Amino acid sequence: MKKKWIGDFLVISLGCLMIGVAFNGFFDRYGMAPGGLSGLFVIINHILHIDLWISNLVFNIPLYIAAYKILSKEECLKTLWGILACSLAFKATAFLSGWDTVNNPWVACALGGILLGTGTGIIFSVKGSTGGTGLLATILERYIKRISIPKIMGVADGIIVLLSVLSSGEWMTAVYSAAALGIVVWVSDRIIERCRKQE
């Protein structure tokens, strides 16, 4: 049991590192916001110049407190670690945003999408979470019974993708963001599906 918990927390940490590289290494420089609260943090960074790791804590800690009584003990511990590990990953990989990692937005979209999808996929495969819109959806579903978590997340992701135009002033940014979101969903779904088959 103890080994499984250690393994799960290591998987969550690795997933968070991938998320940090995806955003700081590929998405942030082009203002891409492929859904989720992390996408919103990119927009905030471009407009207000607030680091991703700071936004992650400021937004997610109140959500975590609000969801504390709704989540199981396992979900509480893994979500808290996911939030903290993601902030550490954003901080540790912040130097990548100043590097010319990729000079083509479509390549950045693809590589970032694969990394983000893989990171979120392996985190979900161990029933982990990094907070964000998933946690927000869980809270809203508890109080608004007629709304499902996927619908809430879908609407939130769509709004954030459209808002990505604000970070660059170009409509193509929303196109890149939407394409990246599609890659993220596809990759993470494949990983989760494969992990379920191995159980």
Range of the domain at 77: 2-94+103-198
Higher pLDDT, 8 or 142: 8
Evaluate if residue 143 carries a pLDDT over 80.
no
Model pTM? 0.89
| Cα(131)–Cα(115) distance, integer angstroms | 18
Q: Residue 128 has what DSSP assignment?
A: -
| Torsion, Cα of 52, 14, 127, 178 (10° steps) | 50
Two tokens at 175? 């196109």
Evaluate if residue 118 carries a pLDDT over 90.
yes
Evaluate if residue 1 carries a pLDDT over 80.
no
If one counts every other C-beta atom within 10 angstroms of the C-beta of residue 146, the result is 6
Q: How many domains does the chain have?
A: 1
In 3D space, the residue among 129, 122, 150, 38 whose CA is nearest the CA of residue 76 turns out to be 129
